[in-house]
Amino acid sequence: MFWKAITRGKGKSSGSSQLVLHIGSHKTGTTSIQRACRQHLPRGVHYLDIRRPETRILQWRGRLDRFRVTLDLAAAEQVLRPQPEGGLHVTSNELLFWLDDPAALDALAAMLRDRFDAVTVLCYLRRQDRLALAHRKQVIAGTLATRFYGIDVTPLPRYRPHLQSYFDYAAKLGDLWAAAFGKDNVQVIPYRRDALVNADAVDDFAHRCGLAFRNKTPLAFNSSWAGNQTALGLYLIREGFAEEDRLSLLNALPPEGDFLPTRDEARAFLAHFDAANDRLARDWQWQGAPFRFETGFDMYPDPPAPRWEEADFIDMLRAASDHRAKERIPPC
């Protein structure tokens, strides 16, 4: 059975109430899952939206090794309440994966145990090099990823020790989430097509929650930039271009090529998390076997592809500006 009953407390609804707390991680279909939850949940299933400005339960500050996402417990107490009739409740925010305060998670778990008859923490994991590569678009957009990774005009971010706070999945799940909610209440799924129901994150999420979305249509958001757009976008944010100008120029640039690390670069980045992944395999299972990521690097070029350099960025910037200017000229 999906749900595991946990400590009963005061303040619960009259009917049995369950909560799925989806914590990401990033670049694992979270935007599609959240969109489906907002628009297509079946009757009787409740979405507790913790992402809107008026219901946000997370705050952030700092950059690089001082970057922190913190939990506003008072806000969480207002938003994360079961409906009087009980039933299934779901909530989702990949920013939860940045939390690293055990006391805050303990307090959140205690509050939710007091309100819901069952709480399940649901998490999808992507191999570290692949997640960091997919996260480059968020760096270009100037989101929290920019604060966390810093700005490098490279396919993968430069490794800095503070990346362990995010990419050490074993510590994140074992020492924080499982410690607060109980390991039996934490589900960890590899973000791979062959591991997902119908090779689709939304269908997989629905299956694990025991629900069926209404009128679901294929959902795909946060699609990637082409290689030249990614490289130019990183260059533009490094050079201080405003977000509106960055996006306008990138949309005006005809997409071309890939911006990928070499296999050796990807292996070197992933090696920083070998010990964490060994612990992950010891502590967690997937389908009865140790939880391990795929081992291939075939998605990366060998031999290495040529890299764009400063002069190339100037040429791309000029081409995008010319294209944008032509689009603004009204027809005769």
pLDDT digits (tens, 9 = 90+) for 151-187: 999 999 999 999 999 999 999 999 999 999 999 999 9
Query: Structural domain boundaries of the chain?
Result: 17-223, 225-259+302-332
Across the chain, mean pLDDT equals 91
Q: Residue 141: name the closest of 131, 127, 151, 129 by CA.
A: 151
CB 25 within 8 A of CB 168: no
Return the pLDDT at 188.
Answer: 98
Strand partners, 21: 91, 121
For residues 1-15, average pLDDT:
47
What stretches of the chain show up as alpha helix (H) in DSSP?
30-40, 73-79, 102-115, 128-134, 136-140, 144-149, 164-167, 169-171, 179-181, 201-209, 227-238, 243-252, 263-271, 274-283, 310-328
Place of tokens 């510590």: 171
Residue 114 neighbours by CB under 8 Å, 6+ apart = 9, 10, 11, 12
**What does the alpha-carbon distance between residue 94 and residue 88 come to, in Å, rounded to a whole number?**
20
Sign of CA dihedral 292, 296, 299, 301: positive
pTM to 2 decimals?
0.91
* C-alpha–C-alpha distance, residues 317 and 314, integer Å: 5
Q: Using one digit for the tens of pLDDT, what is the confidence trace for 312-322? A: 999 999 988 88
User: Taking 90 as the threshold, does the pLDDT of residue 210 lie above it?
Assistant: yes
| Residue type at 163 in one-letter notation | L
Residue 108 contacts residue 76 (beta carbons within 8 Å): yes
C-beta separation of 146 from 120 below 8 A: no
Query: At the top level of CATH, which class does the domain 17-223 belong to?
Result: alpha beta
- Residues 266/283, Cβ–Cβ less than 8 Å: no
- Confidence at residue 331, expressed as pLDDT on a 0 to 100 scale: 47
